[in-house]
Amino acid sequence: MLKRASIAVVMMALVLSGCQKSMEKPAGKSDAPAAASEKAGMKLFNGKDLTGWEATGKARWVVENGLLVGTQGDKNAPGDLFTSQSFRDFEATVTYRAEWPCNSGVWFRFQNPGKAYQADILEYKKPEAYSGTLYCPGYSGLFLAANLDQTLENRSGWNTIQIRAQGDHLQIWLNSRQTADVHDTRSDSGKIGFQVHPGAEFAPMKIIVREVLLKAL
């Protein structure tokens, strides 16, 4: 009886030891999430220079301390900065901040000044609209969808605009809150870009971009 009891005790000790080892995490592994580049796609802005981008108009576009900065040119001149490539169906994520007063935005599916969409970065009074609004230059009503909640934007810090364009379905999120969800067929592909608006009232404005990520759909 004692011999059998001793064997049982030994077996139980081995089982418990095995259970304890199975609960330990293998060396060198962690619970860290996948890298952002794996989830969000390619970087359109390299943080060093304007490679892959083309400027139009007379606004100033420079890279300072790893950031893309757009300001008005001489005599409050406007301008735009576009990717050299065009894109059709995609998810884009732009991290930005602005110095106010500001009238800017993220162009997408831009073919020409009358055929494009823009995720706005602005404060508009008539009709009322704030950043995250979906602007369409070929639309008589000006905005395809208007964000009426100005508290969604961090006016003194960084913000994230997400754009999803798939077929005729266009969606925008500002800081993880959806601000536009519409169907429209005015433009099915085009460039991604940024705008600096004209006018003396916007002379102090800056649009400052930290990251532009794009994932094809």
pLDDT of 69-110, one tens digit each? 999 999 999 999 999 999 999 999 999 999 999 999 999 999
pTM above 0.85, yes or no: no
Structural contact between residues 204 and 111, judged by C-beta atoms closer than 8 angstroms: no
- 123-150 in b/e form (b: 16+ CB < 10 A) is bbeeeebbbbbbbbbeeeeebbbbbeee
Confidence of residue 39 (pLDDT cuts 50, 70, 90): low
Is residue 40 very low, low, confident or very high in pLDDT (cuts 50, 70, 90)?
Answer: low
Look-up of token digits 């609960």: 23
The Cα–Cα gap between 212 and 16 comes to: 52
First-to-last C-alpha distance (Å) of the chain:
70
Exposure string over 6-40, b if 16+ CB within 10 A, otherwise e:
eeeeeeeeeeeeeeeeeeeeeeeeeeeeeeeeeeb
Question: Which pLDDT value is given to residue 41?
Answer: 86
Confidence of residue 141 (pLDDT cuts 50, 70, 90): confident
Q: How many residues does the chain have?
A: 217
Domain 41-216 has CATH 3.40.50.1000: no
Whether residue 146 is predicted with pLDDT greater than 50 in this model: the reply is: yes
Residue 178: its pLDDT value, please? 98
Residue 31 clears pLDDT 80, i.e. is over it: no
For residues 53 and 81, is the Cβ–Cβ distance under 8 A? yes
Contact 143, 149 (CB under 8 A): no
Residues 6 or more apart whose Cβ sits within 8 Å of residue 34? none
| Cα dist from 129 to 59, 138, 144, whole Å | 24, 18, 11
**Tokens standing for 202?**
């916007």
